[in-house]
Each structure stands twice: as C-alpha cells, then as structure tokens.
Amino acid sequence: MIKQLIPPGFCLKCDICCRFLDRFSQMRPYFLYEEIEKVGKHSLKPFKKGRALLISLIRHKNMYICPYFYPKENSCAIYKIRPFDCRLYPFLLSHKDSGIFLCADLNCPFINKNIKSKSFKDYISCLKKIFSDEKLINKILKNKALIGTYVDDVVFLARLKRLSKKLHAHKEKP
C-alpha cells in the first residue's frame, strides 16, 4: 500500500530508527489488531499487557529499542510483516488543534537531506491521496492511537482534510 521512499541501503546505515530515548516514547510502533495476529503467528516477543497495541521497548545500552530490532545487524525480525506505523515511518500522523497532519520526523537524516526535493514533494502528494482513501480513513478511525500528538522533532507537511473532518464528525456522534 505505501511505497517506501527511502532506499533500503540508506536505512541500513542509519542509527535513528527503532531506537528511543524514553521507554514510553510516543514514537514507538503502534500495531493494528490484524498486525498483532500476523506477528503472533511468528512467535516473536509479546506486546505489553494492558496496552495491547503499543509494544514494550527493551533496554539496550543507554536507550530503548524495539524488541524486533537487532542493533548489531541494524535489521528488523519482522520487516516483511512490519506494521503500518513502521511502513509509514519517517512519516507519521499528528493531531494538533482540530486537524490531523501528515508529518515527518526531523531526526531522520534522509528527511533532512531531501525535504526540498521534487521527488519528496511528489511523494507527499502521493501520501495525501493515500490518506484520502475511505477504507484507510475508517481503519485509522478504529485505531486512533495511530495519530500521535504533536512532538517537537516533527515537521508538518500537509493537513489531511478528509481525515480531520471525519475524525471531528466521529467524535461528535453520541
């Protein structure tokens, strides 16, 4: 569904993804229920009880990492079945005021290097179209934790008008 913008070789040399300074970081991956089922079939590490869709980060040196991440190899144990949230990264959805925005993590070196390029702008246009799809909007409405709150290290790229409108209407329903 979402074509990867960043070349795999670039990611393999990076030391940003899958690593977190805070054990309860807002940026840790969120798994949809159907994604948990896929991962569960592979008998990998469990999800945090009580917050079934957010993974529990594990301590590694002076930070926390995703339990599916192998720092020595800079690889992911579930890469082929990674969740939507990971497929979207370094792009993310953020809620601010009454709008939902497509954002990018400024900690990603690729974002900083390419944010002004034509290919980057074209990709953002493509993502905006993807996020106007009714099926995806409904999936996001059922999984509102995919929409994070604003954090300092992100840049707003586009307001997702249809998603914002639907979310606002969804909140007003009794």
Residue 51, pLDDT > 70, answer: no
Q: How many CB atoms lie within 10 A of CB 173?
A: 5
pLDDT, mean over the chain: 85
Q: Which of 11-20, 101-110, 116-125 has the lowest mean pLDDT?
A: 11-20
**99-105 vs 91-96, strand pairing mode:** antiparallel
Element holding 52 (H helix, E strand): none
pLDDT over threshold 60, residue 125: yes
134-156 pLDDT, tens per residue? 999 999 988 888 898 877 788 99
User: Does the structure show a pLDDT above 70 at 77?
Assistant: yes
Q: What does the angle CA 146 – CA 124 – CA 112 come to, to the nearest 5 degrees? A: 90
Q: Residue 127 — φ and ψ, nearest 5°? A: -65, -40
- So what's the pLDDT on residue 50? 46
36: confidence class by pLDDT, cuts 50, 70, 90? confident
d(CA 170, CA 150): 21
- Evaluate if residue 166 carries a pLDDT over 80: yes
In this predicted structure, what is the pLDDT of residue 19? 93
